[in-house]
Chain A
Amino acid sequence: MTDLQITTPVPTVGSSTAVVDDETRGAAGLTAKNVACWFGTKKVLEGVGLDMAPGQVTALIGPSGCGKSTFLRTLNRMHELVPGATLAGEILINGVDIYRGAIPVTDVRRRIGMVFQKPNPFPAMTVAENVVSGLKLSGLKVTKSEREDLIESCLTKAGLWNEVKNRLGDPGRALSGGQQQRLCIARSLAVSPQVLLMDEPCSALDPTSTRRIEQTISEISESVTIVIVTHNMQQAQRVSDRCAFFLAAENEPGRIIEEGPTKDIFTNPRDSRTEDYVNGRFG
């Protein structure tokens, strides 16, 4: 697990397929059409349609248990990893269905990265190895100098470079929780994803780390489409361009109640339930 140095001078990052077409680089649009999800026989999402435009930040908000995480996980095919989990509907990246075979599942997940609620760096790897772990995992090759550049640029983008530049050889788990989360963001960025999904990335973090990550989001959002689940209304307002409000009535699957520009959702919602929620009156 120690030696990541790949000496063969082969293609650049992000070209797992022989032909490097623009479809697989730069921020991509993601579209969900009529998505429904089940865990076993329990239907937890129904009729979810959402357009996530390239380079925009979309926030998913809603009370606990309404299916935000489930929806997010359908967007990069993590949902199907849960035993018994199924779904219906379509998810398109730049217009191509991700579930119906045109794109290999590993490519789907590389192009649509994910940051989890709980930081999950690889503990057996050093900080530097963690950053480039995605290359190794998905079989991408880089030269040593490319690797070093990538480590620095991704850690810089994730706002972690200054804190760890002298500890690149430390194990990933030696970092603080907030630093680990930023390491996970850096790790996701290293495989140059077109979309980055974030499931409550700041819920375990202090205000400073939270601010740092929000800053990171606005810095990277030009080159990568971001979908973020958050329970923090201020955060949704600060970072997102658009907002989707999920709600599940009792014993009913969750749905999107309202979706639109963040400003409208917070200042001028069409649905009274949205208004109640964003003003903290329930959920």
Chain B
Amino acid sequence: MFNSRSPSRQWTVRRRAKADPVTSVTDVVETNALEKDRVTPVVRRGKVDRVYRAVATLSGSIVFVVMALIGGFLLYRGIDALRLSGWGFITESQWAPDMGGAFGIAAVLPYTVSIALVALFLAVPISVATALFITEYAPRRLRRFLTATIDLLAAVPSLIYGLWGLFYLQPRLITLSKWLADNLGFIPFFKVNEDFGTSLGVFPSSTFVAGVIVSLMVIPICTSVMREVFGQAPPGEREGAMALGGTRWGVVRDVVLPFGRGGIIGGSMLGLGRALGETIAVTLIISPSFDAKWSIVEQGSNSIAALIALKFSESTETGISALMAAGLALFVITLIVNTAASSVVNRSRSGSATEI
């Protein structure tokens, strides 16, 4: 903010020469400081500070080292398969590396992303609403209870969600799938192949069902992050809004949500990361499909994580290399998503405004 482009006028203080040091008055002389004259502030750090800094820097860099190691490992193990398939790895939708057939992520990847998007599409609004209810509307006792419950939900293993989803939720959910297909079938996402008819039998094991179950796992995480951020909305601004005759909703809209924008994005991205990588629940729900399709309600879906989990134990050397390459693709996508998200979060207002 202070890096002016042109040489700026600055005030410098110069002592009058040869004056009595006690009674002398300092003169303010206006000069034209040049850009090259700008000072780079020198910081001298004490020993404790230096040690602390070193430790902190070290721990910080471990994260990058681990990331690089994982990426490097996946690349190293997957490179054979990538050489074999070439661009086909991106354009091919079948997966038959073990029989020497073609393989690629053209179907698995879109399925992975769709499941995550379905999950996020449901989880984000629900999480925002829940977090707002907890921070803004709930009485204090209920607030504590809800917070504890949600944290507990975040700790439930995904296998449990998967089993419950498979045996309890899915049979009930497919009624909704059918309703969507019957009433919103003109939208490609909700269309089912006419050949199958629209009996309930075509709806289980779909992207939609998997997405709903993943969303249940994502909601607690998103809600926790958002609740934390909403709770930090500056009390001064809240009171300012109230004192203007603001309704609760007005305060939420004009103070809490603008302040919490970074948290909403951050929480969603954390959820997206989890949704993209969710393995066991998705594996339980879906019936693997290697033909990409628009419909999310029709039977048949897939995900990279589920693919790896399902195929790993029965793969040949090439097969494993191909799975590693698929893992690399997932890793790269997660990185891209998170980098994009953090740049958005950084650009929005984070924490409190600068004090004056």
- Residues of chain A within 8 A of B239, CB atoms compared: 78, 81, 114, 116, 120
- Residues of chain A within 8 A of B356, CB atoms compared: 119, 176-177, 180, 204
Q: Which residue on chain A has the smallest CB distance to residue B259?
A: A124
B163 on interface, CB distance cutoff 8 Å: no
Of A113, A118, A176, A177, the residue contacting B243 (CB under 8 A) is: A113
Q: Whole-angstrom distance between the alpha carbons of A136 and B241 in the complex?
A: 10
- Are A122's CB and B241's CB within 8 A? yes
Q: Which of A55-63, A91-99, A183-191 touches B?
A: A183-191
- Are B254's CB and A136's CB within 8 A? yes
The bracket for how many chain B residues form the interface is: 20 to 34
Contact (A125, B243) CB under 8 Å given A83-B140, A173-B353: no
Q: Whole-angstrom distance between the alpha carbons of A139 and B237 in the complex?
A: 18
Q: Whole-angstrom distance between the alpha carbons of A195 and B90 in the complex?
A: 68
Q: Whole-angstrom distance between the alpha carbons of A176 and B354 in the complex?
A: 12
| Nearest 8 Cβ contacts at the A-B interface | A110-B245, A137-B246, A124-B258, A134-B244, A138-B245, A137-B250, A114-B243, A120-B236
Secondary structure of the B side of the interface? Answer: helix
Contact (A188, B244) CB under 8 Å given A119-B356, A125-B254, A173-B353: yes
- Are A113's CB and B247's CB within 8 A? no
Of A107, A109, A122, A123, the residue contacting B242 (CB under 8 A) is: A109
- Are B243's CB and A109's CB within 8 A? yes
Q: Whole-angstrom distance between the alpha carbons of A110 and B245 in the complex?
A: 4
A window 98-151: CB within 8 A of B: 106-111, 113-114, 116, 118-125, 133-134, 136-139
Q: Whole-angstrom distance between the alpha carbons of A83 and B235 in the complex?
A: 13
Q: Whole-angstrom distance between the alpha carbons of A148 and B257 in the complex?
A: 26
Q: Whole-angstrom distance between the alpha carbons of A62 and B21 in the complex?
A: 45
A76 on interface, CB distance cutoff 8 Å: yes
Q: Whole-angstrom distance between the alpha carbons of A137 and B250 in the complex?
A: 5
B window 129-149: CB within 8 A of A: 140
- Residues of chain B within 8 A of A176, CB atoms compared: 356
B349 on interface, CB distance cutoff 8 Å: yes
Knowing that A113-B243, A173-B353 are A-B contacts, what are 14 other residue pairs whose CB atoms are under 8 Å apart, sorted by A's residue number? A78-B242, A81-B242, A106-B245, A109-B243, A116-B239, A116-B243, A120-B240, A122-B241, A123-B349, A124-B349, A136-B254, A137-B247, A138-B244, A191-B244
- Residues of chain B within 8 A of A139, CB atoms compared: 247, 250
Of A133, A138, A173, the residue contacting B247 (CB under 8 A) is: A138
The size of the chain A interface, using a CB distance under 8 A, is: 37
Cβ contacts B215-252/A at 8 Å (1 or 0 each): 00000000000000000001011011111111100110
Q: Whole-angstrom distance between the alpha carbons of A157 and B67 in the complex?
A: 58
Q: Which residue on chain A has the smallest CB distance to residue B243?
A: A114
- Are B244's CB and A137's CB within 8 A? yes
Cβ contacts B282-321/A at 8 Å (1 or 0 each): 0000000000000000000000000000000000000000
- Residues of chain A within 8 A of B82, CB atoms compared: none
A249 on interface, CB distance cutoff 8 Å: no
Nearest CB in chain A: distance from B66 CB, A = 36
A18 on interface, CB distance cutoff 8 Å: no
- Are A122's CB and B245's CB within 8 A? no
Nearest CB in chain B: distance from A80 CB, A = 10
B window 315-356: CB within 8 A of A: 349, 353-354, 356
A window 31-85: CB within 8 A of B: 76, 78, 81, 83
B255 on interface, CB distance cutoff 8 Å: yes
Nearest CB in chain B: distance from A22 CB, A = 19
- Residues of chain B within 8 A of A109, CB atoms compared: 242-246
- Residues of chain B within 8 A of A10, CB atoms compared: none
* 25 pairs of residues in contact across A and B, judged by CB atoms under 8 Å: A1-B254, A109-B242, A110-B245, A111-B245, A113-B243, A114-B243, A116-B236, A116-B239, A119-B356, A120-B234, A120-B236, A120-B237, A120-B239, A121-B240, A123-B353, A124-B349, A125-B258, A134-B244, A137-B246, A138-B244, A139-B247, A173-B354, A187-B240, A187-B244, A204-B356
- Are A122's CB and B250's CB within 8 A? no
- Are B246's CB and A122's CB within 8 A? no
Nearest CB in chain A: distance from B216 CB, A = 31
Q: Which residue on chain B has the smallest CB distance to residue A124?
A: B258
- Residues of chain B within 8 A of A191, CB atoms compared: 244-245
Q: Whole-angstrom distance between the alpha carbons of A184 and B241 in the complex?
A: 11
Q: Which residue on chain B has the smallest CB distance to residue A139?
A: B247
Cβ contacts B241-279/A at 8 Å (1 or 0 each): 111111100110111011100000000000000000000
